[in-house]
A and B are shown apart, each in its own frame.
Chain A
């Protein structure tokens, strides 16, 4: 029962985090939403019994990508331009 609930809840949260990351105007918030999506995706990999991929996803996607994106935001602009 617990397994089925997690199988339904975690992908929905992943997709919600991805949609939120697209709609943010503040790029720093979008980066944090992307990190949350990556962490939820690694949890989904763990539920599907692929712990190797889960560790790689959590290390690279949730930490290093976030650090690199934050450094590049610091060098450019924080807010996205209006059209």
Chain B
């Protein structure tokens, strides 16, 4: 694979933490501001795709295996389904944490207000699970496509 220039590598290393922090902010504040698990996960996966484009697939594949990403995605999906099973005493997907004094149980006043981070019941946890799943899934797609096409013609045999 052709080596990319030093400018691309430096700018990508500077930009990657900011993109990741913004994506994690979108995931964590999904119940207060626009965004959520899928949107934030797509932003973080975009930052990881930037690293793959800048540094080449071989340098990234030495650090991250796609089997680990697949495992992380399965953990996210299982976490989402098990969080949906928490409120099974009433119905599937019942938000049983909202309104309690426990974690994320605060209810904001009615109307437009900035809200509290510790509110929303099960919604922030579900956002985290879906965000993990989307980050791992989209990054796995980009990474395995980059590894499979690192030689001209795609076939390495």
Residue contact B34 to A64, C-beta cutoff 8 Å: no
A27 at the interface (CB under 8 A from B): no
Nearest Cβ distance between residue B140 and chain A, in whole angstroms? 12
Contacting B35 at CB < 8 Å: which of A55, A74, A76? A55
In the assembled complex, which residues on chain B have CB atoms less than 8 Å from the CB atom of A60? 42, 138
Residues of A within 8 A of B38 (CB): 56
Given A56-B42, A59-B43, A60-B42, are A74 and B52 also a contact pair (CB < 8 Å)?
Answer: no
A-B pairs under 8 A by CB, number = 55
The interface bits of chain A over 42-64 (1 if a CB of B lies within 8 angstroms of the residue's CB, else 0) are: 00000000011001100110011
- Using a Cβ–Cβ cut-off of 8 Å, how many residues does chain A contribute to the interface with B? 16
Assess A55 versus B26: contact at CB under 8 Å? Given A64-B142, A68-B142, A72-B149: yes
Complex Cα gap A53–B17 (Å): 24
A68 to B146, CA, bound (A): 8
A55 to B35, CA, bound (A): 7
Q: What residues on A are CB-neighbors of B153 within 8 Å?
A: 75
Given contacts A55-B34, A60-B42, contact A67 B149 (CB under 8 A): no
Residues of B102-157 at the interface with A, using a CB-CB cut-off of 8 Å, are 138, 141-142, 145-146, 148-149, 152-154
- Find chain A residues with CB under 8 A from B45 CB: 59, 64
Shortest distance in angstroms between A60's beta carbon and chain B's nearest beta carbon? 5
Interface residues of A in 18-74 (CB under 8 A from B): 51-52, 55-56, 59-60, 63-64, 67-68, 70-72, 74
Interface residue from B39, B49, B154 paired with A67 (Cβ < 8 Å)? B49
Contacts of A76 in B (CB 8 A): 154
Chain B residue with Cβ nearest A75 = B149
5 contacts between A and B (CB under 8 A): A55-B35, A55-B39, A68-B142, A74-B152, A76-B154
Residues of B within 8 A of A (CB): 26, 34-36, 38-39, 42-43, 45-46, 49-50, 52-53, 138, 141-142, 145-146, 148-149, 152-154
17 further contact pairs, Cβ within 8 A, besides A55-B34, A60-B42: A51-B35, A52-B34, A55-B35, A55-B39, A56-B39, A59-B46, A63-B50, A64-B45, A64-B46, A64-B138, A64-B142, A67-B53, A70-B53, A71-B149, A72-B149, A75-B149, A75-B153
